[in-house]
Amino acid sequence: MKTLLLDDEPYCVELLAHLLQKHCPGVEVVAQCTEPQAALAFLKENPDTELVFLDVEMPRLNAFDLLNLLHPFSFKIVFTTAYDKYAVKAIKYSALDYLLKPIDIEELKTAVQKARKLPAVRPEQLELLAHHQNGSAAHPERIALSTQSGVDFVSVKEVVFCKSEGSYSEVHIEDGRKLVLSKSLKEVEELLPAADFFRVHHSHLLNLRHVKRYLKGSGGEVVMSNGSQLPVARNKKEEFLGKLGLT
């Protein structure tokens, strides 16, 4: 994959180039940039670039602004960032990939493997990214979810419940769709507003707005709007009933 690296810190660019050369065969670093304007010019002149490692926090022109200037484009993106909760949330909501600095070698290898399989970035993903980048939308109305077949854009209020399946998760949508994600249930939970979603069981996260009935028992069961019956863990029962206003 023809790859461009952009980071305003020269050391970070040099280190990333070294790690890619040593640990990621098949990645050809065709440009190393420390100025967003230089990366912008290169990418416009070289539309066959396949992968871009893009630092989020840069002076004058940040990563999100740069992408807006380049759109439309066909390259894959891996963001690199020191932890910034708003930037990371925006990236997650958009189903895009990122690496935290200092970069871990195994995470880098995984990111490259994922980039080979990912579809091209869709305009809707960039719209979500722009919408959430400043932390202005603490509770997202829509999120992007990446599956093996592509990226689905989902209204949060239409998510009925989520179910853990080992290292994967199922997201059950109001219209009957079942999306399978290569994310843990904890990762999915972090994408959804805590005010509306509750973990009733280690394997189930539900949308409180879709609860239709509670069935009594040691922990009990809950009937959802799509007819599914989900177990309530005994140690979650009291808190869950409080959420429903039943205590």
Write 148-157 long-range contacts (CB < 8 A, 24+).
148/180, 148/182, 150/119, 151/95, 151/119, 151/122, 151/124, 151/125, 152/177, 152/179, 153/124, 153/128, 154/179, 156/192, 156/193, 156/196, 157/196, 157/207, 157/209
In this predicted structure, what is the pLDDT of residue 246?
82
Q: Band of the pLDDT at 212, cuts 50, 70, 90?
A: very high
Per DSSP, the chain holds a count of helices (H) and strands (E) of 8, 15
- Tell me the sheet residues that pair with 217: none
Separation of first and last alpha carbons in the chain: 58
User: What average pLDDT does the segment 142-159 reach?
Assistant: 93
Query: What pLDDT sits at residue 57?
Result: 85
In the predicted model, what is the mean pLDDT of residues 165-179? 95
pLDDT at position 135 is 62
Residues of the chain within CATH 3.40.50.2300 domain(s) are 2-132
Q: Could you say which architecture CATH assigns to the domain 142-243?
A: Beta Barrel (2.40)
Mean pLDDT of 148-176: 95
**Mean residue pLDDT across the chain:** 92
Which whole number is the average pLDDT over 57-80? Answer: 88
User: Omega of the bond prior to 72 within 30 degrees of 0, cis?
Assistant: yes
What is the Cα–Cα distance from 12 to 152, expressed in whole angstroms? Answer: 33
pLDDT in tens, 181-198: 999 999 999 999 999 999
Residue 4 has pLDDT above 70, yes or no: yes
Secondary structure (DSSP) of 175-196: TS-EEEESS-HHHHHHHS-TTT
- How far is 106 from 109, CA to CA, in rounded Å? 5
Evaluate whether 183 touches 168 at the Cβ level (below 8 Å): yes
Total-model pTM: 0.83
Percent of the chain having pLDDT more than 70?
Answer: 97
User: How confident is the model over 88-145, as pLDDT tens digits?
Assistant: 888 999 999 999 999 999 999 999 999 998 888 888 898 888 888 766 556 788 999 9
pLDDT score of 136: 57
Q: Is the pLDDT of residue 71 over 70?
A: yes
Answer whether residue 225 shows pLDDT above 70: yes
Can you name the CATH fold of 2-132?
Rossmann fold (3.40.50)
